[in-house]
Amino acid sequence: MSYARVRCVGLVGVTGHVVQVEADLAPGLPTVAITGLPDTALHEARDRVRAAVVNSGRVWPNRRITINLLPATLPKQGSGFDLAIAVAVLGSAGELPLAPLDQVVLLGELGLDGTVRPVRGALPMVAAVARTGHHRVIVPFGNATEAGMIPGVRIHAVRTLRQLADFLTDGIPLPDPPQAASASCTPTPDLADLAGQGLGRRALEVAAAGGHHLALLGPPGAGKSMLAERLPSVLPELPDDAAMEVTSLHSIAGLLPPEGQLIRRPPFQAPHHTATVSALIGGGTGLARPGAVSLAHRGVLLLDEAPEFNRNVLDALRQPLEHGRVRLARSRGTAEYPARIQLVLAANPCPCAKPSGDVSCDCTPLARRRYLGRLSGPLLDRVDIQVTVRPVRAAELTEEFAGGEPSAVVAARVATARAAAVERWSSLGRRSNAEMPGPVLRRPPWRLPGTDIRELRARLDRGSLSARGFDRVLRLAWTIADLDGRERPDAEDIREAIGLRTGEAL
Ligand SMILES: [Zn+2]
């Protein structure tokens, strides 16, 4: 036999596609050609696979070898094809019987010594195996727990190419994959252990209920990042499809927690202000690594000390904020990852970062304006809520420490408010107040009575609020009404919304 075919999986974004790996041997000078849109990693695969085969005690055929990956139109990235290529070549040479691999999918990168190394993205790959009606997959031992998350697929785990070859030639059974560990309960930060912060808490609750982006201004030590990292704790758990998407992105990044369970909590990412564009939006060689903005998909992205981020890094957020996904340029084509995030910007009011009222701060009003001005334009424009938080006072610390409302209580109100918004807007194809276009809220049947929005109009006429700001106040007012169980926002809701929008809230 001089031809063989096995199955593997390639990823396009977070979606896996089954790929056929064909090997053909022909007489002639010993060469290896790989066709079917390979990237550079696949060219390297040629040398890696040959070494792995020889070091596993098998004979590499010294003939003209052609390896073809189908469908040719599918971009193929990464090193997960190694194992399939090695088996296809050995099969075509008659070195291994491939009958036991009928309908089996092979995943794995090979080390030069023949070890089978874990691949990034095993979870969405095995999901593709299940989706295409295949029921068995051979994965690297290090990916077995992750692969086991997909129901309906039988997982075999291998540590070495030799182990797989022994199974095929001598029927030595493959070891059972490791059992998934029981879920660890990593404690998530809870609002209960946050003292004071009345306004900050309220802003957080409104942001969570309406899906609004949030800006927290305040001096160092005011608790901005403590508030922000508690936002996921009041958001609803992820539904199945979102949990699968989020877990797949972490799998592709190689950052999956070892428990072998879907990520159900909305993720939280807080990249440092020295982060590069590719750390934020993704990139790298081979299979593109999702950046912080995709790892925060369906969760929260905090930019702490936001004005300190590089201008080009902040600009790179424009696309994901607008479209909910990032598009990364690759050597061939592009890779797209979802990136629907709730953004939290935290900033000191002043470039010297001294507490407010500190006498040693000699920043001019102009310097302060310029500092925050770095955020304006693409970013601050999209942020519905802007509030100033103050350091907790001693009185609050002693009084409220006992009575700090826990996240679960807030999360229940948030869930009710979100359900109200879904019911109201789903016929318009929207799911949250933050997604609502201004014109819809300004026209019947959603237009609010003139008496209720009198102050809002006056601010627009005075120029103390932009047209865009006007719409943002309306969105916030709907969220506040949803939280309080009112059918429509009233004048009081509008007033609170103005405060949350303009930072005048106290
Ligand atoms: Zn200053």
Ligand 1 mean position to 363 CA, how many Å? 4
Q: What mean pLDDT is predicted for residues 308-326?
A: 92
**Pairwise CA distance, residues 327 & 283, whole Å:** 10
Ligand 1 mean position to 197 CA, how many Å? 23
- The DSSP bridge partners found for residue 140 are 158
Per-residue model confidence as pLDDT tens digits over 442-488: 999 999 998 999 989 999 999 888 888 899 999 999 999 999 999 99
User: DSSP readout, 14-65?
Assistant: TEEEEEEEEEEEESSS-EEEEESSB-HHHHHHHHHHHHHHHHTT-PPP-SEE
Lowest mean pLDDT among 13-22, 184-193, 209-218: 184-193
pLDDT at 185: 61
Q: Which long-range contacts (CB under 8 A, 24 or more apart) does 262-267 make?
A: 262/149, 263/238, 264/237, 264/238, 265/188, 265/232, 265/237, 265/238, 265/299, 266/232, 266/235, 266/236, 266/237, 266/238, 266/298, 266/299, 266/300, 267/232, 267/295, 267/296, 267/297, 267/298, 267/299, 267/300
Ligand 1 mean position to 373 CA, how many Å? 15
Ligand 1 mean position to 227 CA, how many Å? 23
Per-residue model confidence as pLDDT tens digits over 129-167: 999 999 999 999 999 999 999 999 999 999 999 999 999
Q: CB-based contacts of 429: which residues, under 8 Å, 6+ apart? A: none
Coil/strand/helix, residue 204:
helix
> Do residues 197 and 393 make contact, with C-beta atoms less than 8 angstroms apart?
no
**Could you give the count of Cα atoms lying within 13 Å of 95 in the half-sphere of its Cβ?**
22
Ligand 1 mean position to 388 CA, how many Å? 16
Ligand 1 mean position to 26 CA, how many Å? 75
Ligand 1 mean position to 364 CA, how many Å? 8
Coil/strand/helix, residue 154:
strand
Ligand 1 mean position to 139 CA, how many Å? 56
Lowest mean pLDDT among 22-26, 66-70, 105-109, 373-377: 373-377
> Do residues 378 and 213 make contact, with C-beta atoms less than 8 angstroms apart?
no
The helix-helix angle for 467-483 and 198-210 (nearest 10°) equals 90
- Does this model's pTM top 0.95? My answer is no
Ligand 1 mean position to 469 CA, how many Å? 28
* Token pair listed for 203: 């802003």
**Pairwise CA distance, residues 148 & 145, whole Å:** 5
- One-letter amino acid at 142 equals G
CB atoms within 10 A of CB 58: 20
pLDDT at 378: 66
pLDDT of residue 184 exceeding 50? yes
Share of the chain above pLDDT 70, in %: 93
- The DSSP bridge partners found for residue 71 are none
**Which residue, among 364, 386, 210, 236, has the nearest Cα to 298 in the 3D structure?**
236
Owner of token pair 């031992």: 141
Cα distances (Å, whole numbers) of residue 54 to 5, 171, 305: 20, 21, 54
Ligand 1 mean position to 221 CA, how many Å? 15
Ligand 1 mean position to 366 CA, how many Å? 11
Share of the chain above pLDDT 90, in %: 70
Ligand 1 mean position to 362 CA, how many Å? 6
**Pairwise CA distance, residues 429 & 294, whole Å:** 23
The helix-helix angle for 407-425 and 198-210 (nearest 10°) equals 40
Pairing of strands 136-140, 154-158: parallel
**Pairwise CA distance, residues 129 & 141, whole Å:** 17
Neighbours of ion ligand 1 (CB under 5 A): 350, 352, 361, 363
Ligand 1 mean position to 215 CA, how many Å? 19
Ligand 1 mean position to 353 CA, how many Å? 6
pLDDT at 397: 61
Ligand 1 mean position to 391 CA, how many Å? 16
Ligand 1 mean position to 393 CA, how many Å? 21
Ligand 1 mean position to 352 CA, how many Å? 4
Backbone angles phi, psi at 173, to 5 degrees: -65, 150
> Do residues 433 and 211 make contact, with C-beta atoms less than 8 angstroms apart?
yes
Ligand 1 mean position to 361 CA, how many Å? 4
Ligand 1 mean position to 345 CA, how many Å? 19
Cα distances (Å, whole numbers) of residue 287 to 62, 333, 335, 466: 31, 12, 9, 44
Ligand 1 mean position to 349 CA, how many Å? 8
Per-residue model confidence as pLDDT tens digits over 185-194: 667 899 998 8
pLDDT at 364: 84
pLDDT of residue 97 exceeding 80? yes
User: DSSP readout, 404-426?
Assistant: PPPHHHHHHHHHHHHHHHHHHHG
* Token pair listed for 180: 């998934």
**Pairwise CA distance, residues 144 & 137, whole Å:** 10
> Do residues 206 and 385 make contact, with C-beta atoms less than 8 angstroms apart?
yes
> Do residues 141 and 107 make contact, with C-beta atoms less than 8 angstroms apart?
no
Lowest mean pLDDT among 3-7, 108-112, 231-235, 374-378: 374-378
**Which residue, among 161, 186, 168, has the nearest Cα to 52 in the 3D structure?**
161
Ligand 1 mean position to 350 CA, how many Å? 5
Coil/strand/helix, residue 329:
strand
375 or 357, greater pLDDT: 375
Ligand 1 mean position to 296 CA, how many Å? 32
**Pairwise CA distance, residues 391 & 217, whole Å:** 11
pLDDT at 477: 97
Ligand 1 mean position to 218 CA, how many Å? 12
**Pairwise CA distance, residues 48 & 63, whole Å:** 17
* Confidence tier at 39 by pLDDT (50, 70, 90): low
How many angstroms from the chain centroid is the CA of residue 293?
A: 6
Ligand 1 mean position to 351 CA, how many Å? 5
